[in-house]
Structure 1
Amino acid sequence: MSPIRRLLPLTLGLITLCTPAALAASSTGTLTVQAVVANSCTIGNATLNFGTYTQAAGATSAGTVTVNCSLLTPYTLTMNNGLNFESTSGKRRMQANVGGTDYFIPYTPVIAGALTVGGVPIPLAGTGLDVPYAITGIADAGSNVPAATYSDTVTMTVGF
C-alpha cells in the first residue's frame, strides 16, 4: 500500500474533526471596528505681487489661497493687519527702508466672497476638498515714495 493511501484516512479524519459540524458547542463574540475622523483644516500660502507701482495710478493684483477642511468641519478664514499696519488710517502698508528712512505704500487685500459681516467672520463648512479663494489687492495711488521694493507680510488664518 502506498504511503499516500495509508495517510488518506487519517487526513480525512482530522479534517472532519476540525469542521464546525464536528464541534459539540460554539460561542460567538463581536469585533468592534472604529475610526475617529477629527476636524482638520489646512491653508496654503498666497502672493499679491503689484508689479511696478506708479504714484498716479496705484496698482492692482490678484492671487489665490487654498483651504482644505474635512467634510462639514465649520471654519472661518481671516487675515491679520500685517507687519506695517497704520492704526490712524486703518490701512495695511508695504514698507521699504531707503537711506535709513522707512517709506510706505498703503494697500487693501480682499478675500473674495462675503467672509465677514461687520468684521465678524462667517462660519463656512468644509468639503473635504481644496477650496480656492480669490484674493485681490489694491495699492493706493498717491504715495510719493522712492524707488525700492516694498513688502508686507499678512498672516491668513483658518480657524476651526
Structure 2
Amino acid sequence: MEKFYAPFAACVTGAIAAGLLAIAPTAAHAATATDTMAVSATVQSACIVSASALAFGSYNPTSGTNLDATTTLSVTCTSGTSYTVGLSAGNGSGATVTNRKLTNGANTLSYTLYQDASRATNWGNTPGTDTPASAVAGASATSLTVYGRVASGQNVPAGTYTDSVTVTVNY
C-alpha cells in the first residue's frame, strides 16, 4: 500500500505547491520615463586692463639728453576677442596724444608715449590710426610695453610734475 500512497502524496504535494504559487503576490515591475534637458550658457566678450605707473625719474633740463622710461599694461579679454588699446592725451592743459603735458601748478613739461622701443610710433587713442594693431585674446593676459620720453631742452622750474593718462581697451 505504500506504493499506492506515495504517488498520491507526491501529487497532492505538487498541487498544494502550485496553488500556493498561484495565490502568492507577484513582484512589482517599476516603469521609467526619460527626457533630455537642454543646458546652455552665453559667454560674453569682456576685457580688463591693468596699468603700471610710468616714472621718468629726475629730469635735468641742462643735460641735453632725453629722459626715457617704460611701463607695462596687462590686458585680459575673453579668449578669441579682438581688441585695441588706446592712451588718452592725459590731463595736462593743452595736451594732445602727440604732445602730452606733465604739470606742476601752471608749469608744464612735455612728454610723448610710443608703441615701440625706437620711439618712432606715437601711441594715441584712435583705434586703427594711432594705436597698436588689433590683437586677438588668447587664454592668458597680454603684456604691452609703453615707451615714454621727455624730450631734452625743456627749461622748466624745479618741482614734481604729474599727469594721468586713461588706458582704453576697445573690443
* Length-normalised TM-score, structure 2: 0.70
In the alignment, which residue of structure 1 is the partner of 2:115?
Answer: 111
Larger Rg: 2
Work out the number of aligned pairs and report it: 137
Amino acid aligned to 1:52: S
In the alignment, which residue of structure 2 is the partner of 1:28?
Answer: 34
1:120/1:32 CA distance change after superposition, 3 Å? same
In the alignment, which residue of structure 1 is the partner of 2:151?
Answer: 140
Unaligned runs of 5+ in 1: 1-12
Greater mean alpha carbon deviation, residues 110-119 or residues 123-132: 110-119
Assess if the C-alpha contact under 8 Å between 2:82 and 2:136 holds in 1. yes
More strand by share: 1
1:140/1:120 CA distance change after superposition, 3 Å? closer
In the alignment, which residue of structure 1 is the partner of 2:101?
Answer: 93
Assess if the C-alpha contact under 8 Å between 1:112 and 1:133 holds in 2. no
1:87/1:109 CA distance change after superposition, 3 Å? closer
Amino acid aligned to 1:104: T
Unaligned runs of 5+ in 2: 1-24
Amino acid aligned to 1:48: L
What root-mean-square deviation, in Å, do the aligned CA atoms of Structure 1 and Structure 2 show?
A: 2.7
Runs of 4+ in structure 1 over 6 Å off: none
1:85/1:130 CA distance change after superposition, 3 Å? farther
| Secondary structure at 1:44 match in 2 | strand
Give the CA deviation at 1:88: 8.4
Give the CA deviation at 1:118: 3.6
In structure 2, how many angstroms separate the alpha carbons of the residues matched to 1:40 and 1:46? 21
1:133/1:85 CA distance change after superposition, 3 Å? farther
Give the CA deviation at 1:128: 3.0
Give the CA deviation at 1:40: 0.7
Assess if the C-alpha contact under 8 Å between 2:85 and 2:131 holds in 1. no
Assess if the C-alpha contact under 8 Å between 2:88 and 2:97 holds in 1. no
In the alignment, which residue of structure 2 is the partner of 1:129?
Answer: 140
Percent same amino acid among aligned pairs? 26
Give the CA deviation at 1:124: 1.7
In the alignment, which residue of structure 1 is the partner of 2:84?
Answer: 76
In the alignment, which residue of structure 2 is the partner of 1:65?
Answer: 73
In the alignment, which residue of structure 2 is the partner of 1:153?
Answer: 164
